[in-house]
């Protein structure tokens, strides 16, 4: 039998390692439409424990999501309002259009998406935190998204120790 260098892995161990690799890889980039959480000024429950993230909105003309948190001190307590949605990245442009039949040219209105309109991250100004991020549903409450790689790694190590004693 020797040192065990030529031994094969059990199907359980292979499944656990595969799960770790899939979860650790995180989201995969696709050509899907960006989705962001949406909270409007009229949604008083958005950002509360009853509706912490808001509703989901598809952002066809945006590559970033935003979250804006207003904090005010009123009557001895904090008033906090959170707005979330698709970052405004559409810019109106003028396009010179040539009419094929009469060879006349005229100006028309068009739109383009400005990919670098905002810097990714958060800034605070006058008790308002402005956050911009890339990736679907990235504008959830700060620190509520969990990175699953470490918990899964710990579970795999624990189960591996139980199932495959050395």
- Within a 10 A sphere around the Cβ of 125, how many other Cβ atoms? 7
CA distances from 139 to 28, 68, 99, 111, 113 (A): 18, 9, 44, 25, 19
Residue 79 lies in a domain: yes
Q: Estimate to the nearest angstrom the gap between the alpha carbon of 73 and the chain centroid.
A: 30
Q: Give CB contacts under 8 A, 24+ apart, made by 111-114.
A: 111/61, 113/61, 113/62, 113/63, 113/89, 114/89, 114/90
Cα gap 121→123, rounded to integer Å: 7
CA 148/CA 25 separation, integer angstroms? 10
pLDDT of res. 31: 54
Pairing between β-strand 121-125 and β-strand 105-113 as defined by DSSP bridges = unpaired
17 occurs within a structural domain: no
pLDDT of residue 157: 67
Domain CATH code at residue 65: 2.10.60.10
Instruction: Please report whether residue 109 resides in a domain.
Output: no
Quote the number of domains for the chain: 1
Asked if residue 132 is part of any domain, the answer here is yes
User: By residue range, what is the domain housing residue 42?
Assistant: 32-89+116-161
Which of 21, 26, 27, 87 lies closest to 59, judged by CA? 87
Q: Give the pLDDT score at 34.
A: 93
Does residue 101 lie in a domain region? no
Residue 1 lies in a domain: no
- Would you give per-residue pLDDT tens digits along the chain (166 residues)? 444 455 565 666 566 555 545 444 434 444 578 999 998 877 777 766 777 777 889 998 889 999 998 888 888 888 888 889 999 888 888 888 887 777 788 788 887 878 788 999 999 999 899 999 999 999 987 533 344 445 555 666 667 666 666 5
pLDDT value at residue 25: 40
**Residues near 147 by Cβ (< 8 Å), separated by ≥ 6?**
none
Q: What is the pLDDT of residue 23?
A: 43
Closest CA to 69 of 123, 136, 1, 143: 123
Radius of gyration of the chain measured on its C-alpha atoms: 25
Give the chain's length: 166
Domain for residue 128, yes or no? Answer: yes
């Amino acid at each position: 039998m020797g040192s065990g260098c030529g031994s094969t892995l059990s199907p359980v161990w292979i499944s656990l390692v595969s799960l770790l690799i899939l979860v650790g890889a995180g989201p995969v980039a696709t050509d899907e439409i960006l989705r962001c959480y949406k909270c409007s000024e009229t949604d008083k429950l958005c950002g509360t424990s009853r509706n912490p993230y808001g509703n989901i909105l598809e952002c066809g003309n945006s590559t970033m999501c935003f979250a804006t948190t207003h904090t005010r001190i009123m009557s001895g307590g904090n008033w906090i309002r959170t707005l979330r949605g698709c970052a405004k990245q559409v810019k109106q442009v003028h396009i010179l259009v040539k009419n094929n039949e009469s060879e006349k040219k005229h100006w028309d209105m068009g739109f383009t998406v400005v990919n670098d309109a905002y810097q990714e991250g958060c800034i605070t100004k006058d008790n308002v935190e402005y956050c911009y991020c890339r990736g679907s549903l990235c504008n959830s409450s700060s620190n509520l998204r969990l990175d699953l790689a470490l918990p899964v790694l710990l579970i795999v190590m624990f189960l591996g120790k139980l199932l495959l004693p050395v």
